[in-house]
Amino acid sequence: MKSKRRKIFEKEVLCHLDRLYGYAMHLCKNGEDASDLVQDTYLNALKSEKQYSIGTNAGAWLFTIMRNTFLNKIRKMSRKPAGMAGEWIEQMTREDISELRKHGPDPSVKCLDNLLKEDIARAIENLPDEFRDTVILCDVQGFSYADIATILDIPIGTVRSRIHRGRLILRNLLADWKNVAMGGS
C-alpha cells in the first residue's frame, strides 16, 4: 500500500511529463533517445525522492535531474556537448549590443512577422548551447530566472544576460535571413 506522500509525489512529477519530453527532444534531437532520457529521469527522480519536498517546485527539480542525467550520459559516451560559444559569437553580440546602445534597435528590421517553423528551428540550432538552453528554458518552458539558475547551476545574472543576448542573436539571425529572402541587402 502506497503512502499518501508517495501518491502526491507521483501526481506532482507526472504532470511534467510533456514538458520533460519537450526538453529531452531538444537535448537529444530524436524521439527514441528523448523517451529513454525521460524514463531515466523518472528513475533517478525516484531514487532521490526523499530529497524532494512535496508541494515545492517539481518542475525545476525534475529538469535539474534530467539535465544531470543527460550530461552523465554524454560524458559516458565521451562526447562533448557541441557548439560552445566561440569567440565569433562573443564578438557578434558585443557588436550588436554596442550598436544597440548607440542607435537603439535597427529600425530597418521590419519583416519578422509570419515566421516559419523551419526558420525558428534553424535559428535555434545556430545558437551556441549555453544561449540555446537558457532561452528554451525561459521562452518555451516558461521557467523563472531563479529556476533556470538552479537547473543550469549558474548565477542568476548569467541567466539574465544569456537570455538577453540569446534573444538578440535569434532575432538578428532571423532578420538576416528574411532580409535576404526579400531581396534586401
Partner 1 sequence: MTCEDAHLSMHDYISGELAAEHYKPLMDHMDECMNCQEFFRQTAHIQTTMRDFMLYEAPSELQTAVSSILANA
* C-alpha 138, offset from chain centre: 7
Shortest distance, CB of residue 105 to Zn ion, whole angstroms? 7
> Applying CB under 5 A, what is the total number of residues that bind Zn ion?
1
d(CA 47, CA 13): 13
| C-beta closer to partner 1: residue 89 or 123 | 123
Which residues inside 12-31 make contact with partner 1, applying CB under 8 A?
A: 13-14, 17-18, 20-22, 25-26, 31
Q: Does 157 sit near partner 1 (CB under 8 A)?
A: no
Could you give the C-alpha distances from 178 to 35, 103, 149, 175, in angstroms and in order? 35, 22, 33, 5
Of 112, 96, 92, which is closest to residue 179 (Cα–Cα)? 112
Q: Cβ contacts of residue 53 below 8 Å, gap of 6+?
A: none
Q: How far is the CB of 102 from Zn ion (least distance, A)?
A: 12
How much helix, strand and coil, in percent to the nearest 5, is found in the chain? 75, 0, 25
Minimum Å gap between C-beta 134 and Zn ion is 24
- Coil, strand or helix at 49: helix
Chain positions 100 to 139 lying near partner 1, rule: CB under 8 A, are 100-101, 104-105, 107, 109-110, 112-113, 115, 117, 120-121, 124, 136, 138-139
Contacts of 61 (CB under 8 A, 6+ apart): 45, 52
Residue 78 C-beta: closest distance to partner 1, Å: 27
Residue 29 corresponds to which cell in the numbers above? 534531437
Interface segment toward partner 1; rule CB under 8 A; list 35-43, 54-62, 66-74, 80-88: 35-43
Site stretch for Zn ion (CB under 5 A), options 46-54, 67-75, 102-110, 164-172: 102-110
Binding mask 36-75 for partner 1 (x = CB under 8 A): --xx--xx--x-----------------------------
